[in-house]
Structure 1
Amino acid sequence: MLLKFATVSALLTVIPGPNALLVARNALVARALALAAAAGTAAGALTWGIAASIGLATLLHRSSQLYEAVKLLGAAYLIYLGAAAIWSTVRHRRNGADEAAPLAPEPVEDGAPPARRSPAAAFRAGFVSDVLNPKTGVFYAAIVPQLLPDSFPVFTGTMLFATVDALVTLSWFAIVSLLVARLSGLLTARVIRIAERCTGTVLIALGIRTAVAEA
């Protein structure tokens, strides 16, 4: 039961998407930021598990209006993150930063220049991005009932699945964090800012695609 669910969760997690982009974006600046974003995404998975255990995910699955509302909120948030990523690099350059110097982390907000993003902001971005993805809720509503034995308590089983999903998510994105962070150590600040703009553009594109996609 758990192995089957973990396999499905892993297959869906490794597919590139907004969460992977958020983790990679933060890993370009600092590994700690990427791990914070990964932890936020895992916390979002646990939140959806709680929602599924009390029936909210099923309600989302059955209500097209609710699904559409969550989907549009998620799309707007992706567009906001993408625009913030692009604007932060523009503002950083206007402030006269040295393009060849490494980026030294300073703890402020996510909309600030990439060098000044805080772990708390990275965690929040990962969490909100996952919570505002209605497909995660539909995943719990559609998959969990099929794998959960009839004799097993719904709340306990759903939370067990959610914990497995969160651990799979955290493990995979931790690997992504380490790989991208190691690569970023070979890059100049200018190249990192270009990569920031690219990820920002892709996040905006994903947000637009999410907004116009059919449920």
Structure 2
Amino acid sequence: MIAAALAFAAAAMIINVAPGLDTFLVLRTSIAQGRRCGMAAALGILTGCVLWGLATAAGLTALLTASHVAYDVVRICGAAYLVWLGATALWHARKKKPSEDVRPEPVVAEGRLAAFRAGVGTNLLNPKAGVFYMSLIPQFMPHGAPVFGTTVLFTAIDVVELAVWYWIVSGAAAALGERLRRPSVRRRLEQVSGVAFIGFAAGLLADRP
């Protein structure tokens, strides 16, 4: 079991650090709103990962590949949510600031809550996240090992790795964000983020199980 867990941890780490929607969300949120909001988004993503892992342990994620309808429903809802995030970012980018030298307002609890919701939404409405657990975990499961317990163990390993990775990403991004406090730069970031979210939505719509 130890050898299988180590092999899974190595494979999951390679996948986790690859650029993707979840990492982009943590990066963008940390730059624009600070590290606390970035970590709130990361916590939302990790919550989604835990739920996907538990669903995989219970055999529910098999429905995503067994049923094209179920996969398409999650996929289309996820794409719609990403379009909404992108449109919201582009709308915020249109807002005029009274002065280019005005510093942004401090991050409030509502900002962290919104970031957490965004993390949960982007993860749970992405069927690829469920397919990831369902397709990767069985490859490393030792023969005769309990399916539920081993799946939960591997999910926990993945979540811990992601937590460390997002902690590093949010810290670096927040430090960069301190140098990008001019409203004009923040508007440009929102524009880029809006286009990126819509691009992720297009990629999700083009995906097939």
TM (norm. structure 2) is: 0.91
Shift of 1:160: 0.9
Question: How many matched pairs?
Answer: 204
Match 2:18 to one of 15, 18, 23: 15
Q: Partner letter of residue 116 of structure 2?
A: F
Residue 41 of structure 1 pairs with residue 45 of structure 2: yes
- % identical aligned pairs: 36
Shift of 1:106: 4.4
Query: What residue in structure 2 maps to residue 208 of structure 1?
Result: 202
1:10 and 1:205 map into 2 onto residues whose CA distance is 25
| Cα RMSD, aligned residues only | 1.6
Q: Secondary structure at the match of 2:173?
A: helix
Contact 1:57/1:141 (<8 A) preserved:
yes
Query: What residue in structure 2 maps to residue 73 of structure 1?
Result: 77
Contact 1:81/1:203 (<8 A) preserved:
yes
Residue 51 of structure 1 pairs with residue 55 of structure 2: yes
Q: Partner letter of residue 171 of structure 2?
A: L
Match runs of 1:107-126 below 5 Å: 107=108, 118-126=111-119
Match 1:137 to one of 126, 130, 134: 130
Q: Name structure 2 gaps, 5 residues minimum.
A: none
Query: What residue in structure 2 maps to residue 156 of structure 1?
Result: 149
Q: Name structure 1 gaps, 5 residues minimum.
A: 110-117
Q: Structure 1 residues 33-42 or 143-152, which shifts more?
A: 143-152
TM (norm. structure 1) is: 0.89
1:87 and 1:11 map into 2 onto residues whose CA distance is 35
